[in-house]
Amino acid sequence: MFSAMTLPFPIRSPCPPGACDCQRDRLLETPGADLRVLRLTRQEERRLLDRLENIRSLEDLQHMQERMYELLGLRVEIAPGHNEVRSMRGIAIQVLEQPGLCRKLRQSIPAAIRRGLEKHPEIAYRLLDSHDLLRDAW
């Protein structure tokens, strides 16, 4: 069992009581738990959100998804929504729940990705095309 004082890396500070459902303390008490997500300090969170907001291509976005999983254990799923896609809101972006991941961050990551897609709509078009949704549009 690790305490916050014995971890070999800085970890996220606790959320105010009752403000979050991240189960940070329970995660720290669980032997053998995956603590990677706790490496996402508030400063690192800002860097991540800024990076997601400034994606340059679909490959860049996919690379960020891979790196978030490798470094933090975060799984982010991005796909066209079930209904017609008329705006960036029609693209389903889901951060899968996991112990230690704050509710606020689960909402901030999709919002940052949407802002990035709005800045570069060609990425959204490539995403839709990769799911074969634009095959008849040309």
For 31-49, the DSSP string reads TT---GGGG--HHHHHHHH
Do the domain assignments include residue 7?
no
User: What's the pLDDT score for residue 15?
Assistant: 81
- Residue 51, domain extent: 24-130
Single-letter amino acid, residue 14: P
Instruction: Give me 66's structure tokens.
Output: 């891979």
Do the domain assignments include residue 14?
no
Q: Give 4-56 pLDDT, tens digit per residue.
A: 446 677 888 888 877 788 888 888 888 888 889 998 999 999 999 999 999 99
Do the domain assignments include residue 35?
yes
Instruction: Convert 14-44 to b/e letters by CB count within 10 Å (16 or more is b).
Output: eeeeeeeebebeebbeeeebebbbbbbeeee
Do the domain assignments include residue 59?
yes
Do the domain assignments include residue 12?
no
User: What's the pLDDT score for residue 89?
Assistant: 66
Do the domain assignments include residue 18?
no
Do the domain assignments include residue 2?
no
